[in-house]
Structure 1
Amino acid sequence: MSETTATAPKPFDWSSPEAMAKRKRRYAADRRLRLYGLVSILVAIGLLGILIASLVVTGYSAFVQTKIAVEFTADPENVPAEDPGAGNFRAVVSNAVQALFPEIENRRELRTASKILSNGATTIVRNHVIANPGLVGQTFTLEVPASDPFDQLNKGVIDRNLPEDRRRVSDAEIELFESLEARGLVSTPFNWGLFFNADSRFPELAGLAGAVVGSFYALLVCFLISFPVGIAAAIYLEEFAPKNRWTDLVEVNINNLAAVPSIVFGLLGLAVFIQVFGLPRSAPLVGGMVLSLMTLPTMIIVTRAALKSIPPSIREAALGIGASKHEVILHHVLPLALPGILTGTIIGLAQALGETAPLLLIGMNAFLTSPPGGIMDPATALPTQIFIWADSPERGFASRTSAAILVLLGFLIFMNAVAIYLRQRFERRW
């Protein structure tokens, strides 16, 4: 019987050329990985910068509006003092245009000159006189928005040097407009109407007031439904529900619902809330309910994650001093988890603010010339207003579409900034 002697393995020589080559390959792989990550971040930032820059270049002109200072005379022959609202304000505007261009004698040329002013000039003058009835019989000056072609001409969107057949305005119209510029009657102030006017068929008068109010009502309904329901469901599933196949099935379905396309929730709202329950179409109430269905899974998941982050020692200490189960949750666990819950809620509402498809399906894309007065009135929302303007054939709506996107991004950035502040201000680290 022969004995075999086992030889001990030789220790690896870390200073050998082979070991040094392996280290160089590992270090090179580490550097490549860091480089790939850096390049990916730079590409993402670059694409985001291109998006923001294109929106700013296209939409900055919508934040200013060309206006013309015009003297109007509320002649008692056209505007009765006893009922100013019944006056003939078309004649008032026509007389004002005639006074701007006294050299025009032809009626056809006068109509051409009247096109410089917005089609809403009559309504603007009428509302001003109704608000100030003492102006009847007086001459007053108003800055009236220029019509969209002349607004674009003043902003340089329409090139004056192009041949006449390639422009929306003729040489004669440009000459009239330049005479107003020479007299100092043309100005370009900040366009507050973009924020305080409702929608209009005329780009120079269209604003986001109706869409902002509609989005506010829809988000308010969404918050009032999804916040308490989401927290209650998360508390039950995390703290009270038994761990069995049924709760596992519920958890899987909640996770799946968080990934369902938003248009499916729009179809659900159309079929249930409108067709079955008969709720009014285009109402912020329906829009908020649909958005709450969409945000509920996210809020439940976020709330459960916030509850899980609380150390078990908090629960054990509360139980040890005689607190009941619901006292432990309501008085100790939930207050400590509230910063994370609020952060998730704001992020969920920010996601709901940018949703378009479900609101389009329930009809929140109607043309409305006044903001809604409540959650039951027809309304639009910021995303659907952007969709309407983007689909409009008038060229002036192109800049307003980009401006509306910038406003929506501003709201989203503000809401995310609030979420970050709340997390950093109230978050507890264990």
Structure 2
Amino acid sequence: MNNTATTNNDLLAPSKRLVKRYRAEKRFRRCGIAAITLSLAFVFFLFFTIFSDGISAFKQTWIELKVEFSNDLFANENLAAADYPGLVKRSLRTMFAEVKSRKDKKLLYGLVSPAAAYKLQDMVEADPKIIGTVQEVWVLADDDVDMLMKKKIDRTVPESNRRIRDIQLEWIDKLVAQGRLTTNFNRTFFTSGDSREPELAGIRGAIKGSFFTLLITLALSFPIGVAAAVYLEEFAPSNHWTDLIEININNLAAVPSIIFGLLGLAIFINFWGLPRSTPIVGGLVLTLMTLPTIIIAGRASLKSVPPSIREAALGVGASKVQTVLHHVLPLAMPGMLTGTIIGMAQALGETAPLLMIGMVAFIVDIPGTFSDPAAVLPVQIYLWADNPERAFTEKTSAAIMVLLAFLIVMNGLAVLLRKKFEIKW
């Protein structure tokens, strides 16, 4: 009897262990699903926060002024010497004749951006015939007015707790009622460089700086990286020196990016004497950072080419160099291009190494050449994020959206290239 019970227990033991194993697998699967769900929730929250804060930056508020280009203001033949800020103030005083006190006039002038005077100057210099006429001109509103129109400033809070005064709210309501205040697409954000005034700040200078920097990075890192990968994989002898080089390349891929910035500061600026805050130095630093990624990806692509390709080429009389250049390298090129694009996307999003070489400077002018001082898009985001004004906060989020769009496009291009040119042996 006891022997029979023992035998039954022995037969049931494997099934019990099997049930426990299935339960453990289900728990592990649930944990994995929970982890993925939590990660997606955080990513969604991040994108939602950036989008909700930055979408308003693509709109901008304009005020219509009735400007009288009086002849007495242009008695001097030099049109650039005319008092254009005074012309803007005169127009505002004419529109709001009830404003008398000096304090209220100062608040009235604050409704309009300083860029209004430059727009009037451009109009006169482009067409001097408007002198002596009255023109309806749309000019940029101040950033506080812009924030109010975008509902970023709460009208219901006490006057002491907001940047817009009650009397300014009355003037703004009057302009809205007259149809002289509207919100349009913010072209300034894409056509202007950096500025201390939020309504005038744009990303064109940072985009051109990023373009010049990445162009230098690509021109240097791709040929050097491909040549190094080909040599190490196809021609380098197997010895201790080759092993040491391979270990160092793999280690460099994991070095913090700020170390490359310190290296660029010590060599390119302090030793070579290259100018600070220029795409030349930025491109050289990012080249050093991107090379390990391209070399590792290039070697992996070369390894994926079957040995039969090499053997067939050598068998028909091709030399080692001809085999590599005419047969192996073309087949490995799609993978190399994918690694290069991923490395360039990584370089586009880097900030720390560029801060070390001075690309954090406040640059108003848009760079025209590789040697002009410039900022890059991640550094521009860093500068705006450090500014406490609410208008710069939305521009920071908008610039992040633009940067993410570039990164998504570059990574998507890498995936498409890999799918299009992938060869399954």
TM class by shorter-chain length? over 0.9
Distance, in Å, in 2 between the alignment partners of 1:399 and 1:215 is 21
Distance, in Å, in 2 between the alignment partners of 1:324 and 1:147 is 70
Report the Cα offset of residue 142 of structure 1.
2.6
Which runs of 5 or more structure 1 residues have no equivalent in the other structure?
1-11
**Partner secondary structure for residue 117 of structure 2:** helix
Distance, in Å, in 2 between the alignment partners of 1:375 and 1:13 is 83
Moved more, 95-104 or 311-320: 95-104
Distance, in Å, in 2 between the alignment partners of 1:134 and 1:61 is 38
- Name 2:206's counterpart in structure 1: 211
Distance, in Å, in 1 between the alignment partners of 2:277 and 2:239 is 42
- Name 1:39's counterpart in structure 2: 34
**How big is each residue's C-alpha offset from its partner over 1:51-78, in whole Å with a ceiling of 9 and x where there is no partner?**
1011112222211111112222322322
- Name 1:181's counterpart in structure 2: 176
Letter in 1 for 2:385: A
Distance, in Å, in 2 between the alignment partners of 1:95 and 1:302 is 65
Report the Cα offset of residue 269 of structure 1.
0.5
Counterpart of 1:398 (choices 393, 396, 421) is: 393
Moved more, 283-292 or 60-69: 60-69
**How big is each residue's C-alpha offset from its partner over 1:70-129, in whole Å with a ceiling of 9 and x where there is no partner?**
222322322358432222101211122123213334444222211100122112222233
* Matched ranges for 1:383-394 at <5 A: 383-394=378-389
Task: State the TM-score, normalizing by the size of structure 1.
Answer: 0.94
- Name 2:158's counterpart in structure 1: 163
1:112 aligns with 2:146: no
Which runs of 5 or more structure 2 residues have no equivalent in the other structure?
1-6
Report the Cα offset of residue 132 of structure 1.
3.3
**How big is each residue's C-alpha offset from its partner over 1:14-42, in whole Å with a ceiling of 9 and x where there is no partner?**
99322221221222222222222222211
- Name 1:68's counterpart in structure 2: 63
Counterpart of 1:321 (choices 297, 311, 316) is: 316
Letter in 1 for 2:287: S
**Partner secondary structure for residue 67 of structure 1:** strand
Moved more, 131-140 or 357-366: 131-140
Report the Cα offset of residue 139 of structure 1.
2.7
- Name 2:334's counterpart in structure 1: 339
Letter in 2 for 1:110: K
1:265 aligns with 2:260: yes
Distance, in Å, in 1 between the alignment partners of 2:132 and 2:174 is 28
1:151 aligns with 2:146: yes
Distance, in Å, in 2 between the alignment partners of 1:229 and 1:157 is 50
- Name 2:294's counterpart in structure 1: 299
**1:403 and 1:227, CA in 2 relative to 1: closer, same or farther beyond 3 A?**
same
Letter in 2 for 1:38: I
Distance, in Å, in 2 between the alignment partners of 1:236 and 1:171 is 72
- Name 1:92's counterpart in structure 2: 87
CA RMSD across the alignment:
1.7
**How big is each residue's C-alpha offset from its partner over 1:216-274, in whole Å with a ceiling of 9 and x where there is no partner?**
00000100110000000010000000011110000000000011001000011011000
Distance, in Å, in 1 between the alignment partners of 2:15 and 2:75 is 99
Distance, in Å, in 1 between the alignment partners of 2:128 and 2:307 is 71
**Partner secondary structure for residue 63 of structure 2:** strand
- Name 1:4's counterpart in structure 2: none
Contact 1:80 1:86 in 2 (8 A): no
Distance, in Å, in 2 between the alignment partners of 1:76 and 1:310 is 78
Contact 1:264 1:358 in 2 (8 A): yes
Distance, in Å, in 2 between the alignment partners of 1:361 and 1:120 is 33
* Matched ranges for 1:216-365 at <5 A: 216-365=211-360
Distance, in Å, in 1 between the alignment partners of 2:132 and 2:305 is 74
Distance, in Å, in 1 between the alignment partners of 2:256 and 2:387 is 27
Letter in 1 for 2:396: T
**Partner secondary structure for residue 74 of structure 2:** coil
Distance, in Å, in 2 between the alignment partners of 1:160 and 1:171 is 9
- Name 1:7's counterpart in structure 2: none
Distance, in Å, in 2 between the alignment partners of 1:342 and 1:179 is 59
Distance, in Å, in 2 between the alignment partners of 1:316 and 1:219 is 38
**How big is each residue's C-alpha offset from its partner over 1:161-196, in whole Å with a ceiling of 9 and x where there is no partner?**
111111111111111111101111111111121111
**1:255 and 1:107, CA in 2 relative to 1: closer, same or farther beyond 3 A?**
same
Contact 1:234 1:300 in 2 (8 A): yes
**1:423 and 1:135, CA in 2 relative to 1: closer, same or farther beyond 3 A?**
farther
Distance, in Å, in 1 between the alignment partners of 2:206 and 2:75 is 36
Counterpart of 2:185 (choices 190, 201, 205) is: 190
- Name 2:365's counterpart in structure 1: 370
Distance, in Å, in 2 between the alignment partners of 1:79 and 1:364 is 42
Letter in 2 for 1:310: V
